[in-house]
Structure 1
């Protein structure tokens, strides 16, 4: 029997609250945070694109109190969830903003880092290119987390099945090749500075 996949962004309501939870966030937040501790600046503003439920933003605002954490998302329901989680956050978690990664109209002229978790494979390629455009405009390092296909590495069977499942749902979705992404980054003056293999066949990338 073929494996049954949960939605790529599994969201569960918390009772009647507008807060949402993504079970994967609880599983990966510590591992992501450990890498961010190496890659983020000590102070400044981190712009998070596609913040989703807001759980990562809350956790990282708590973990990195000397950084201002700016969550964002294009989805009104996600923005409501982020705002609700913010009620439990320290003051360095800022009010969420509506930002579409693919749009050139980000309401920012400067950030000290940009973070995007689990978006590139469940959005059109134009959104991935928009991340690169935004990082180039803002002159900020771009940090990504998610499932990637890496040249020269055998892809995990679960990742290949996930990729096929995503493409069956939406032909514009799917796991991206790191080399395709870095080639586009180079056109914008960005280079892959570091990468880390992460649990559950994910990777983190640092470009600037």
Structure 2
């Protein structure tokens, strides 16, 4: 399987001079994403963020939800350096050091060790076979009752939610035919084949969506023992 660095294209980055990088897109969507997290998270939860990029999102979320443990990840050296700088700046006990993680390879994450896997603006920037692999790895690392949260521009079958999304999808497809906005129904079907039994589609600003894919809660002693 093709290995993936941090997705491209990227939003423009600005350096703060202390190792931290800032992406303008992250400033725009932080509040709407945090509003969804507030509905999902409970004290004691452990969140793994995929392709954390600059690290500014997860640093902000760690401050907002201090009773949650946060693990950022990325494969790109520049972004890993920025994530560490944001971690030091945030000075939050629940914000762990970043994992070097390639979403299309096997993750160095223990089975059934996370409650939420968060991916922001990732799934349209990696090939579909990497998306399927991502779901399978989420199934492995999530506890029963855990969920995947996917934030991205998406489509509903062949229907796009704005002309801008049509243009964005075309731009991605021209650069690489394996990239592009993902069909929500296809994502739900892939998740269902892996044992995810519930989903919620949440409309977000700027014609984006958050797709929540949930694993069932434990129902047998064997399931409970896995927690």
Provide the TM-score with structure 1 as the length reference. 0.90
Moved over 4 A (4+): none
RMSD over aligned Cα atoms? 1.7
- Is the 1:41–1:112 Cα contact (8 Å) retained in structure 2? no
Q: Once the 2 structures are TM-superposed, how far is the Cα of residue 99 of structure 1 from its aligned partner? A: 0.9
What is the rounded CA distance, in whole Å, between the counterparts of 1:27 and 1:203 in structure 2?
14
Cross-structure match for 1:112: 115
Q: Once the 2 structures are TM-superposed, how far is the Cα of residue 205 of structure 1 from its aligned partner? A: 0.8
- Is the 2:80–2:98 Cα contact (8 Å) retained in structure 1? yes
Match of 1:165 among 159, 171, 190: 171
**SS at 2:46 equivalent:** strand
Aligned 1:193-204 pairs, distance under 5 A:
193-204=199-210
Cross-structure match for 2:221: none
Cross-structure match for 2:52: 51
Aligned length: 202
- Is the 2:153–2:209 Cα contact (8 Å) retained in structure 1? yes
Structure 2 residue runs without a partner (length 5+): 1-7, 215-227
Larger % of strand: which?
2
Q: Once the 2 structures are TM-superposed, how far is the Cα of residue 15 of structure 1 from its aligned partner? A: 5.4
What is the rounded CA distance, in whole Å, between the counterparts of 1:108 and 1:151 in structure 2?
35
What is the rounded CA distance, in whole Å, between the counterparts of 1:70 and 1:195 in structure 2?
24
Provide the TM-score with structure 2 as the length reference. 0.83
Cross-structure match for 1:39: 40
- Is the 1:12–1:20 Cα contact (8 Å) retained in structure 2? yes
What is the rounded CA distance, in whole Å, between the counterparts of 2:87 and 2:58 in structure 1?
9
